[in-house]
């Protein structure tokens, strides 16, 4: 496909905070500035972290902030057969093996890899039966073999996101720099599965004064829709974009899309903000 297709993929672990708004705004602006589509995908593949009602709250927030999406909202929890089919394709190629190592065992035996500590392939040659309790790992060389399906039966993020991006013909992925380490793994899976690789653009993540990424775990406050204009203006400032001259969310975003310049986005991986 030559047309631009972007996406925003929040995890439903709580309402949107400033850090997630920055990611949403950057991906929305990049799509609209390129006359492209902007899809929303709820990344609830890890059901153990899903907060009931959080997905609906996020969708209401996006609507209140004027961040209109194209097409139907996709939920990973409804797409498990697709992830399993991709896993079986890799297994049929002899690229997946069963792993029974615990987290402690992996930490104790990890080797230096291209992206930090790497799993050394302890179980790779054991040829364990698929019925053996454990996780499924893909052979990934210098990256370190990584998990595609967890021992609790849930498919891993790396596999799910690659399948989803391919199924929805995503051409461009705009996301936080905290996911830089995931990109080589996802590119590897794309190649193994015969998928196209999107263009990636990683933006700085917003952190608190202690240098921690804003998240539910670090007590980042939820966004108030009544202050949408102010929050959007702050997100544009964070992204190095021109100051808006209007305050209504929809008009502000339209103006920002006309002046969107990725070259103005700061190149550092993280930027502290006051919350």
- Which contiguous run of DSSP H or E holds residue 61? helix 54-64
Is residue 213 among the annotated active site residues? no
Closest CA to 205 of 29, 42, 41, 17: 17
* Crossing angle of helices 18-33 and 228-238, rounded to 10°: 70
DSSP E strand boundaries for the chain? 5-8, 37-42, 74-75, 96-99, 111-113, 116-118, 135-138, 146-149, 172-176, 199-203, 205-207, 270-272
Contacts with 263 (C-beta within 8 Å, 6 or more apart), sequence order? none
Q: Which of 80, 149, 213, 216 is catalytic?
A: 216
Closest CA to 183 of 211, 137, 143, 136: 143
* Residues annotated as catalytic (active site), given as ranges: 216
């Amino acid at each position: 496909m030559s047309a631009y297709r972007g996406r925003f993929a929040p995890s439903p672990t709580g309402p949107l905070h400033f850090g997630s708004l920055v990611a949403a705004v950057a991906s929305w602006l990049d799509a609209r500035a390129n006359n492209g589509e902007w899809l929303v995908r709820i990344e609830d593949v890890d059901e153990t972290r899903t907060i009931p009602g959080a997905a609906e709250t996020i969708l209401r927030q996006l609507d209140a902030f004027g961040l209109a999406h194209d097409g139907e909202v996709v939920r990973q929890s409804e797409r498990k057969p697709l992830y399993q089919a991709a896993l079986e394709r890799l297994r049929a190629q002899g690229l997946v093996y069963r792993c029974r190592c615990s987290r402690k065992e992996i930490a104790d035996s990890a080797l230096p890899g291209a992206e930090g500590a790497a799993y050394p392939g302890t179980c790779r040659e054991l040829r364990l039966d698929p019925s053996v309790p454990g996780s499924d790992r893909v052979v990934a060389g210098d990256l370190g073999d990584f998990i595609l399906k967890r021992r609790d039966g849930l498919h891993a993020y790396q596999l799910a996101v690659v399948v989803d991006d391919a199924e929805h013909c995503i051409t461009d992925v705009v996301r936080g720099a905290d996911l830089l380490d995931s990109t080589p793994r996802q590119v590897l899976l794309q190649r193994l599965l015969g998928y196209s690789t999107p263009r990636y653009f990683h933006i700085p993540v917003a952190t608190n004064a202690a240098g921690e990424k804003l998240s539910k775990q670090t007590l980042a406050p939820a966004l108030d829709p009544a202050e949408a204009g102010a929050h959007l203006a702050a997100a544009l400032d964070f992204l190095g974009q021109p100051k808006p001259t209007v305050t209504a969310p929809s008009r502000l975003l339209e103006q920002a899309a006309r002046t969107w310049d990725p070259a103005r986005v700061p190149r550092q991986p993280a930027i502290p903000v006051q919350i």
